[in-house]
């Protein structure tokens, strides 16, 4: 399975632009798709006020699950989805090929493909 994307930085001091080609087996792509799609399925049910506890990665203070995760969707996306995504990104059967082309060449080549993207980049550059 092949997929591609592009990204840019239009600020005058950078003017970067790149195109990324991603190759991976279909089964790995399906896992990635399910991981992204499943985050949209989990409802944002707020947590009740449970007792405070220290969470992994937190400072010395204690937090309730509501303060730390806010809702069920954030808990799922922050734990299950992110772990699946990290596993997919590091998988040896997934390869990325990055081509640095510069912002001006990227805009010239892809401005008809996604004009809204470049309008947004220009608005950030101008203000």
List, in sequence order, every beta strand (DSSP E) within 39-121: 95-100
**DSSP result, 60-81:** SS-B-HHHHT-BHHHHHIIIII
Q: Whole-number mean pLDDT of the chain?
A: 89
* Model pLDDT, residue 89: 94
**Quick check: 3 and 22 in contact, CB under 8 A?**
yes
* Model pLDDT, residue 127: 59
The structure's pTM equals 0.72
* Model pLDDT, residue 29: 94
Region 77-95: what's the mean pLDDT? 94
Q: What are φ and ψ of residue 119, in 5° steps?
A: -65, -40
Nearest-CA neighbor of 124 among 12, 5, 6, 20? 12
Chain centre to alpha carbon of residue 32: 12
* pLDDT tens-digit map of 16-62: 999 999 999 999 999 999 998 998 999 999 988 888 888 776 677 88
* Model pLDDT, residue 58: 67
* Model pLDDT, residue 53: 82
Q: Which of 7-21, 88-102, 104-118 has the highest average model confidence (pLDDT)?
A: 88-102
């Amino acid at each position: 399975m092949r997929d591609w994307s592009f990204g840019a930085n239009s600020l005058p001091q950078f003017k970067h632009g790149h195109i990324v080609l991603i190759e991976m087996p279909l089964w790995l792509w399906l896992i990635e798709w399910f991981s992204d799609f499943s985050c949209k399925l989990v409802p944002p049910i707020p947590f009740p006020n449970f007792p405070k506890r220290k969470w992994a990665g937190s400072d010395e203070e204690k937090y309730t699950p509501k303060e730390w995760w806010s809702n069920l969707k954030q808990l799922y996306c922050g734990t299950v989805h992110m772990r699946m995504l990290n596993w997919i990104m590091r998988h040896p059967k997934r390869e990325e090929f990055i081509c640095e082309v510069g912002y001006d060449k990227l805009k010239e080549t892809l401005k008809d493909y996604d004009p809204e993207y470049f309008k947004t980049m220009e608005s950030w550059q101008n203000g």
